[in-house]
Chains A and B, each alone.
Chain A
Amino acid sequence: MKPPPVIELAGIGTRFGRQVIHRDINLSVASGQILALLGGSGSGKTTLLREILGLLRPTAGSVRLFGVDLADADSQRQRAARRRLGMLFQQGALYSALSVFDNIAFPLRELRCLDEDWIRRLVHLKLAMVELTPPDGGLMPAELSGGMIKRVALARALALEPELLLLDEPTAGLDPERSKKFVELIASLQRALNLTVVMVTHDLETLHSLASHVAVLADQGLVACGLKTEVMAVEHPFIQGFFASHPPKLL
């Protein structure tokens, strides 16, 4: 039996009051893909991401994660599906009252099945994974630099060993050097853990070095979706404009 796609959006429509954000969006992401979600400001990229996370319910259509409908009434199954994804928020969204260590340990403790030694080992592993040292675990989020916040947030997103990783602007606010390193980090983790990644990004560099697939949101719908090379060839003013702004790097 073929496993269901990791994410399956069917006929998604979103409206805020009278303002229509999405109209009939269909998208399916298979295991192991790295999908970049592109679109101009206000095209509803983050809204779509929030719908995939189940933070926002679409006005029409259904979202299925690992074959489980997010509108499913069975809360047990919903929770199980959500545990299989990790989210990296744009600003990190670290719990400001908890130290770095406790931030990463939090989702593990919430399982209420693991003992402290096990959790400590896992947190140290995650810290090492994102190239942080154990002493960094004692810091508070307010004491971290922008790059460190992203790395801690990534470590926390990975704490529950997710199969699906959602990234909202993973490199926004990082300098080019750090941003490159962070992208390499995500790429290496993706290979090592065989993650499925969906990211919202504006950064061509990130897109170029990470994504295998691209979906473009414009005119309230998906104007293109597929392999990166295929999408680049699509005749659409937004796509042409987007890739034309930085041609040398992509060619």
Chain B
Amino acid sequence: MTPQLQMSEGRAALSGDWTLAALLPQLDHLRRQLEQAGAAPGAWDLSQLERLDSAAAVLLWRSWGHAWPTELTILPLHRRILARVAELPTALPVAASPPFNPLTALGGQVLRFFDNARGMVILFGRIWLDLAYLARHPGEFPWRELSANIYKSGAQALPVAALVGFLIGVTLSYLSALQLQSFGADIFIVNILGISIIRELGPVLVAVLVAGRSGSAMTAQIGVMRVTEEIDALATMGVSRSQRVVLPKIIGLTVAMPLVVLWTSAVALFGGMLAALAQLDLSLAYFIESLPRTVPVANLYIGLGKGVVFGFVIALVACHFGLRVRPDTESLSSNTTRAVVTAITSVILADALFAVFTRHIGVPTL
């Protein structure tokens, strides 16, 4: 039955189903009618109503100006529904959100930064304590979790790292070759590719890839374990969450990263070699032979050292944000985002520090 409102001689008569579902199709029309009827105080006849729900009751009550009309005919059942609406205060408090203040927002950011930094320092210390404990109780070392983590964040990352490394190597070599050709300095392609890929590009490229791939996975996993109380379940079984969940992830990535860096740098160099062969006619044998001569081996150590540090930083940041997830979906997504962004930023920061402190090491002298 469609809801209807009939006006005659100062009398408003309602009939039909006054329910939310029935009101919706002709809401605007009924609202206008109610406004007109409500403006002229008169008698209301609701005895012909078939159904009345609270949504329609609120609508009626508002059109009456938050007061009972002087003359009202209504079934007791419907009167009870209206009475419940009438009990609500006329002006309902609005849950006010605090106004945006750039100063407090900035302050909040700074405080959050220090809070996170503190959390990471604590986690860092926790790892060393755990390592010291495990050194005294080697039987409790989580070998299975460690190997699973190395496999997941290392071995499974090899194909994508190879693909990206190869393409970067080809691109870099091709673009450099175009420049070098114009100087007639073709053979310097070996220096350029060797130093830039082994020392800089390999580690940073892998770090960005791994932060997006394994870092986000770690945060999400620990976060969901917190949401589903699995972390608490571990604690009740007397299993330390930092030893069983956090430590294998951090050690695993720290071990796996330099290996992935080595692999990616090798593939990138291979791509560069192929492009050099195509563009400059530089034979593969010459490239391989002159690489150790032109690129001091210290660069390889620096590259691998970066891999170790980057892996540790990414895993530490990811685990830290994972442990901060509160049991709701919004917090899970924002912490995963923050983990990846912070991990990449920290890696670039660490890379800059590396550049400063190793500026005299491994630079070839001609």
Contact = CB atoms under 8 A, between A and B. Distances in A.
A127 B93 CA distance: 15
B58 interface: yes
Contacts of A160: 20-21
> In terms of DSSP, what is the predominant structure of the interface of chain A?
helix
A128 B92 CA distance: 14
Interface in A137-152: 137-138, 140-142
Contacts, number: 62
A69 to B, nearest CB: 19
B58 A122 contact: yes
Q: How large is the interface on A (under 10, 10 to 19, 20 to 34, 35 or more residues)?
A: 20 to 34
A161 B59 contact: no
A125 B85 contact: yes
Contacts of B53: 161, 193
B329 A97 contact: yes
B21 A96 contact: no
B122 to A, nearest CB: 23
Contacts of A113: 24, 27
Given A121-B88, A124-B88, A161-B53, A137 B19 contact: no
B94 interface: yes
A172 B352 CA distance: 57
A74 interface: no
A114 B55 CA distance: 10
A138 B20 contact: no
A228 interface: no
B32 interface: no
Interface residues of B, number: 26
Given A113-B24, A121-B58, A122-B55, A96 B95 contact: no
B95 A125 contact: no
B55 A142 contact: no
Contact of B19 (A118, A122, A141, A161): A161
A101 B58 contact: no
Contacts of A114: 55
Contact of A97 (B80, B87, B330): B330
Contact of A111 (B24, B58, B94, B328): B24
B118 interface: no
B41 interface: no
Contact of A121 (B85, B93, B326): B85
B21 A118 contact: no
Given A128-B84, A160-B21, 5 more contacts: A97-B328, A97-B331, A101-B95, A121-B62, A122-B55
List of 4 A-B pairs having minimum Cβ-Cβ separation, nearest first: A96-B328, A97-B330, A161-B53, A161-B20
